[in-house]
Chain A
């Protein structure tokens, strides 16, 4: 059974359709890349999967549980990094991670070890004692990722995880995400195309709320009528030009 299953998912805001009839699934241990121009519906889809927004129509299941009817079961399985990392500027990194760990219902005796583990993974160990508001954008982003990793959730949903990072940090985060494959099921959105080629096995391209391509990265170029050697960038521009 697929870890994430989405069927005919639609989200309408009063007069605007944000996402329109999305159907896709992600197998356990897979990394799916969400691509699309700004406003294509990537964040909306992620917000529905994490239970922050209800769908207007359709069903989303995580680990077999309906997101809307069993929100707690689903939320327990997901680590989520929203577009803007949800940080409290007046907290220290350590205090913040401990708070999120408590929200995720980690047992009190595991808190300390778990905070140290994710801090090590994301390279924020040496800033644990600092106030979040004094961190650089890159470090804030890393703390956001660290927070998502707390408790080793089965599913990670990362909305533009490399946003605001410098090239070296980007490479680190990409390597981190790649290392998570197999143990975690990951959906990651980005508008940096090479990132997808480097980290994901499967790609889903959204444009104006609709799926315009959904395939294995290797097959994508061929299936879209472009030459086999076409780069992802060419495919992306062709598909989202409409």
Chain B
């Protein structure tokens, strides 16, 4: 475990010494701020309208805008998930591909280190990187709770907001696991990023495809879809099934990565 931690620490320190990190952070903050401001504007508009005509007169699909949690945060988390889908491949691509191109993979493979320690170390490093990136978005609920008002007293329902945030972290962790496996397959970082995106995007959209199919295929596809799995968590409903689903995808990706690294010894 000490070796895995040393590798994780190396990943993190390398990440933070490259301009790449700050580019990614900027992209994350800029994109999510853009959506945050837009959501706030819409929220304000709907609220003003409701004040004139009362909520009873508003169309039913506007009820989400009655409070900041459903009107802004839940929808913002939904956007952060999509931003993560675009950003995570650029964070995971380095994990193995760069070591191979740099010839430092030879150092890892000839040191008295087990493949499992390499994989766990890399993944822990990857988790640190994605958590740091996603951590930046916590500023939005903090801003809302500091400056927002609600009749009930607190501006935000923190349990819902935090559960949604947990869903985002889970999603980020999944993206990194899948991305790490793909990065272990190639020497080219760009190819790794592109393939990761090409795997994650259709997987994300599986729930849309499911709508066009018949049962029982429909339930299967919906279960397998990232999007459908995340929706409940974003709305503040904790479902064990969701946790099991994401944990399986992560563990399976780690196993595949381990196999890929281990296979290096045989070919």
Q: Is the CB of B110 within 8 A of A52?
A: yes
Q: Is the CB of B113 within 8 A of A90?
A: no
Q: Nearest chain-A residue to B105 (Cβ)? A: A86
A212 interface contact, C-beta 8 A: no
Within residues 85 to 125 of chain A, which ones have a CB less than 8 A from any CB in chain B? 86-91, 95, 99-100, 102-105
- CA A210 to CA B112, docked complex, whole Å: 30
A220 interface contact, C-beta 8 A: no
CB within 8 Å for A90 and B17 given contacts A52-B109, A54-B265, A104-B112: yes
The segment from B6-14, B57-65, B192-200, B250-258 that touches chain A is: B6-14
Q: Looking at the complex, which one of A50, A54, A84, A89 makes contact with B110 (CB distance below 8 Å)?
A: A50
Q: Is the CB of A86 within 8 A of B267?
A: no
A112 vs chain B, min Cβ distance (A): 15
With a 10 A CB-CB cut-off, give which of B106, B110, B114 has the most chain A CB atoms.
B110
Instruction: Count A-B pairs with CB separation below 8 Å.
Output: 69
Q: Is the CB of A86 within 8 A of B104?
A: yes
B152 interface contact, C-beta 8 A: no
Interface string of B91-129 (1 = CB under 8 A from A): 000000000001111111111111000000000000000
- CA A86 to CA B107, docked complex, whole Å: 6
Which chain B residues lie closer than 8 Å to A89 at the CB level? 102
B3 interface contact, C-beta 8 A: yes
A118 vs chain B, min Cβ distance (A): 15
CB within 8 Å for A100 and B110 given contacts A51-B265, A54-B267, A88-B102: no
Q: Looking at the complex, which one of A54, A90, A103 makes contact with B107 (CB distance below 8 Å)?
A: A103
B18 interface contact, C-beta 8 A: yes
A173 interface contact, C-beta 8 A: no
- CA A181 to CA B10, docked complex, whole Å: 33
Which chain B residues lie closer than 8 Å to A37 at the CB level? none
Q: Is the CB of B109 within 8 A of A102?
A: no
Which chain A residues lie closer than 8 Å to B110 at the CB level? 50-52, 75, 78, 80, 82
Q: Looking at the complex, which one of B105, B113, B265 makes contact with A103 (CB distance below 8 Å)?
A: B113
Q: Is the CB of A102 within 8 A of B3?
A: yes
A219 interface contact, C-beta 8 A: no
Which chain B residues lie closer than 8 Å to A75 at the CB level? 110-113
- CA A145 to CA B110, docked complex, whole Å: 15
CB within 8 Å for A100 and B107 given contacts A54-B265, A105-B3: yes
A76 interface contact, C-beta 8 A: yes
With a 10 A CB-CB cut-off, give which of B104, B265, B267 has the most chain A CB atoms.
B104
- CA A83 to CA B265, docked complex, whole Å: 19
Which chain B residues lie closer than 8 Å to A138 at the CB level? none
B107 vs chain A, min Cβ distance (A): 4
A27 vs chain B, min Cβ distance (A): 23
A4 vs chain B, min Cβ distance (A): 15
Q: Looking at the complex, which one of B14, B109, B266 makes contact with A91 (CB distance below 8 Å)?
A: B14
Q: Looking at the complex, which one of A68, A88, A91, A100 makes contact with B111 (CB distance below 8 Å)?
A: A100
Q: Is the CB of B106 within 8 A of A102?
A: no
Can you name 12 A-B pairs with beta carbons within 8 Å? A50-B110, A54-B267, A75-B110, A75-B112, A82-B106, A82-B107, A86-B105, A89-B102, A90-B18, A91-B17, A100-B111, A103-B3
